[in-house]
C-alpha cells in the first residue's frame, strides 16, 4: 500500500538538500562513466591479447595495459601476477629500508 507523503522544511534546508542531491547525482554519473571506461578497457585488452604481436622485449613495455594484455595472452592469472609483483617490491623495499638504517 502506498501512502502519499509530504515533508515540510525550512527554505534554507531545501537549498542544502538540493545541493546534496545534485552532488549525489554527479557522483552517480561519474561512477557510471568509470564503469563504462573499465568495460571498454577490458574489451580492448582482450582484443589486443588475441590480435597484437609483441615483438619487443618485455622490458620495453611500460604501460599497465600492455602488461595486462601480455598476461592474458599467456594465460596468466592477473591477480596472481600483481600479488607476486607487489610482494617482490615490498620485500625488496623492506630490505632496502633495513640497509639504510645500518
Q: State pLDDT tens for residues 18-54.
A: 888 899 999 999 999 988 888 888 889 889 888 988 8
SS3 66: helix
Residue 11 binned pLDDT confidence (cut-offs 50, 70, 90)? confident
Query: Is pLDDT at 69 greater than 80 in this prediction?
Result: yes
Q: Are 52 and 69 in contact (CB under 8 A)?
A: yes
Cα separation, 6 vs 87, whole angstroms: 56
User: What is the pLDDT, as a whole number, of residue 95?
Assistant: 45
pTM: 0.50
Query: Exposed/middle/buried for 45, CB within 10 Å: 0-12, 13-18, 19+?
Result: buried
In this predicted structure, what is the pLDDT of residue 56? 86
Give residue limits of the domains in the chain. 11-101
Across 70-78, average pLDDT:
82
Cell of residue 22, nine digits? 545534485
pLDDT at site 28:
92
Q: At what angle do helices 64-74 and 78-101 cross, to 10 degrees?
A: 130
> What pLDDT, in 10s, does the model give residues 82-97?
656 655 555 555 444 4
Q: Which of 41, 36, 47, 84 is nearest to 64 (CA)?
A: 41
Amino acid at each position: 500500500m502506498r501512502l502519499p507523503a509530504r515533508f515540510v522544511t525550512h527554505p534554507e534546508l531545501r537549498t542544502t538538500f538540493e545541493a546534496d542531491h545534485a552532488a549525489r547525482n554527479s557522483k552517480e554519473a561519474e561512477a557510471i562513466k568509470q564503469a563504462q571506461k573499465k568495460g571498454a578497457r577490458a574489451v580492448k585488452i582482450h582484443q589486443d591479447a588475441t590480435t597484437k604481436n609483441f615483438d619487443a622485449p618485455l622490458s620495453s613495455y611500460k604501460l599497465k595495459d600492455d602488461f595486462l594484455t601480455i598476461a592474458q595472452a599467456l594465460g596468466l592469472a592477473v591477480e596472481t601476477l600483481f600479488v607476486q609483483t607487489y610482494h617482490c617490491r615490498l620485500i625488496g623495499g623492506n630490505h632496502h629500508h633495513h640497509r639504510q638504517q645500518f
